[in-house]
Amino acid sequence: METKESEPQGIPPFAGLSLGMLVPTFTSNSTQGKIDWHRWIGDSWALLISYPHDFNPVSTTELAELAKMRKDFEERGVKVAVLSANSVDDHHEWVHDIESSELPDGHPIFFPLISDPERSVSEMYGMLDPNVKTLPQHGLPIVCRCALLIGPDRRLRCSMMYPPSTGRNMSEILRAIDSIQLNEKHHVMTPANWVPGESCTIDPSLSDHEAKARFEKVTTVSMNSGRTYMRFVSDPSGPKKSTFSWGGFFKTLLSVTSGLVIGAVGSKYIKGKSNQA
């Protein structure tokens, strides 16, 4: 495996990554062939997710969820890749395990699983937990559950790190991607617990004059200090799109129709009984 840094970072090797940093590139084997990381990213957004090891129950549920979210990532222009210390052969066997189970609900694993047996990439990206060792693999530090969002400029935009025991909320990863992409395009920020379609706050770097020129309607909340930093606008990307399903429509229609038929029959039966009485 080859690893290298793409530009001087001014930090010691393997010190991890900071937001805004140009991520190092690497070349490694995967379930989809050899990957040259920067070349693989191209001009897309990329999500690199790491796992402690293959055949892990928590990791298995996460990969199954990712498989079901392919359309969500494609709509956001985000490529997905996962990484763990296991061999490519292990990765292939694990993928077969997952796809043949009910967990992914028939959705195939569409993303490459990268092999990092020497933990070169994991160490370079700051993904290791030195306090937790993997006994089957010579007591080496275990790989944490990291989710790194990388922009088309190959710079780190978001970093989420979890311990090996805690599965991630995949919806939160999508929510963070939506927020970051919204900020880049519209200069808005997202408040606590925001979800697409809800009001956003205006980036403080925009003056009141710039905000009024950029947005159709600005609502300023009065604060005790008299400062006007609490400025809200509607989600510039528009209301959250509703998901229509013909299958769900016909299922609901069938349920309603069945209820009406049963109700009519029951009413006639009860009325008949009453008349007989």
Query: For 118-155, what is each residue's pLDDT tens digit?
Result: 888 988 898 887 666 554 545 677 788 999 999 999 99
CATH number, domain at 196?
3.30.1020.10
- Residue 12: per-residue pLDDT: 37
Q: What is the CATH number of the domain that holds 77?
A: 3.40.30.10
Residues 54 and 25 in one domain: yes
Same-domain check for residues 216 and 80? no
Residue range 214-249, pLDDT digits in tens: 998 999 998 999 888 899 999 988 765 444 445 544
Question: Mean pLDDT over all residues of the chain?
Answer: 83
The range of the structural domain enclosing residue 216 comes to: 187-233
Task: Mark whether 149 and 192 lie in a shared domain.
Answer: no
The CB-side HSE value for 11 (13 A sphere, CA atoms) comes to 16
Q: Above 50 in pLDDT, residue 80?
A: yes
Bigger pLDDT: 16 or 85? 85
pLDDT at residue 11 greater than cutoff 60: no
Residues 81, 211 within the same domain? no
Same domain, 156 and 208: no
Q: What's the predicted TM-score (pTM) here?
A: 0.76
- Identify which has the larger pLDDT, 95 or 253: 95
109 and 210 fall within a common domain: no
Beta bridge partners, 233, equal 200
Number of structural domains (the chain) is 2
The stretches of the chain forming alpha helices (DSSP H) are 37-41, 57-68, 70-75, 88-99, 120-124, 170-186, 208-214, 246-276
Q: Is a pLDDT exceeding 50 seen at residue 204?
A: yes
The larger pLDDT score, comparing residue 10 to residue 210, is at 210
Note whether 69 and 162 are same-domain residues.
yes
